[in-house]
A = this chain, B = another copy of it.
């Protein structure tokens, strides 16, 4: 039989209130009776009912994690990071991916409306107005957003420093390898991370006195296929780039396919760099030079922030930046200056 607090109380000859106090190490209880009750509870193998406690305390000790789509090792890392921090804070994590039958908004509504979670972590490509409204309503639970855009001061956001990452790798291509003809494959249109990466790329070029060329900036969608199409377009240009900066590793992998299919060599004929430093990047050959994104840390940080927010409702919105680093593979080479001064 499932034990209840009542049975423990009877067995220990105390009231249920006392048992409750013992279990929640309430200050006003004698050490002796507390120990005694705890022992009895142990003997009876009593575990407080999660649901009942949630109802009484008006907190569920569950946080929701909404992902844009569950796929790839990228998301596993996020889940892992969130889970680790949540667990050590006594929270459980329920994940909800969006898919054909369920939109992100729907997931959130479900979580918040039924008040089954104390807080939500939203990993989303873009922040729509509908979403803003949704999480701005009074009784909404605490929300932390993982998203490239961070100039929204009203919300708690954990963001990857896409700009810095894109800037630094572009700058590196220019200064250390001597590349000047650098193309970029963008991410999806309304994706904030993608937008920031593009901005970083452009800024680095400009700071190095190179005018970004529209022709060398092509659309992609963060998928392999997208990378393939984009790459084939770049290879068809009369004035070809020397190196392609793909908006993420997936698209870089797509570039690899197309470049190899064209019988060209990397980095001999053309260089490629990516962004994310996914598992894959180390296994394709040549190993991809890419921007490392500490995804586990993103998950952990978001969870920490959320727990902090849940604990302290007056917590001021915070935007936490996660910096990136460059991972050197072998997908680039130093280029010779054609016409030395």
Copies of the protein in its oligomer: 2
Query: CB-defined interface of A301-317 with B at 8 Å, one 1/0 digit per residue?
Result: 00000000000000000
Q: Which residues of B contact A116 (CB under 8 A)?
A: 50-51, 92
Contacting residues, chain B, for A72 (C-beta < 8 A): 73, 76, 279
**Cβ of A99: which chain B residues have Cβ within 8 Å of it?**
80, 84
Contact of A73 among B51, B71, B87 (CB under 8 A): B71
In angstroms, Cα B96 to Cα A84, docked, is: 9
CA distance A331 to B116 in the complex (A): 50
For chain A, the count of residues having a C-beta within 8 Å of the partner chain is: 46
Contact A49 B114 (CB under 8 A): yes
Complex Cα spacing A47 to B117, Å:
14
Task: Give A54 to B116 CA distance when docked, in angstroms.
Answer: 10
- A36-77 interface (Cβ within 8 A of B): 47-52, 54-55, 60, 62, 70-73, 75-77
- For residue A83, CB closer than 8 A to chain B, the reply is yes
Given contacts A55-B55, A115-B2, contact A71 B62 (CB under 8 A): no
What is the distance, in angstroms, from A317's C-beta to the closest C-beta of chain B? 23
Per-residue contact bits, chain A 129-146, to B (CB 8 Å; 1 contact, 0 not): 000000000110000000
Asked if B49 and A94 make an inter-chain contact with CB atoms under 8 angstroms apart, the answer reads no
Interface majority SS on A: helix, strand, loop or mixed? mixed
A87→B96 CA distance, assembly (Å) = 9
Q: Which of A1-26 contact B (CB under 8 A)?
A: 1-2
A241-298 at interface with B (beta carbon < 8 Å): 253, 279-280, 283-285
A306 to chain B, nearest CB (A): 15
Q: How far is the CA of A115 from the CA of B1 in the complex (A)?
A: 12
Question: In the complex, what residues of B have CB within 8 A of residue A231's CB?
Answer: none
A113 at the interface (CB under 8 A from B): yes
Report the bound CA distance from A52 to B101 in whole Å: 27
B70 near A60 with CB under 8 A, answer: no
Of all A-B residue pairs in the complex, the 3 with the closest CB atoms, nearest first, are: A50-B116, A47-B113, A50-B114
Q: Can you list 10 contacts pairing A with B, beta carbon distance less than 8 Å?
A: A52-B55, A62-B94, A71-B73, A73-B76, A79-B79, A80-B97, A83-B96, A87-B101, A93-B95, A285-B285
Contacts A71-B77, A92-B96 supplied; 11 other A-B pairs, CB < 8 Å: A1-B138, A2-B115, A48-B114, A50-B114, A50-B115, A51-B51, A62-B94, A73-B279, A88-B101, A253-B283, A283-B284
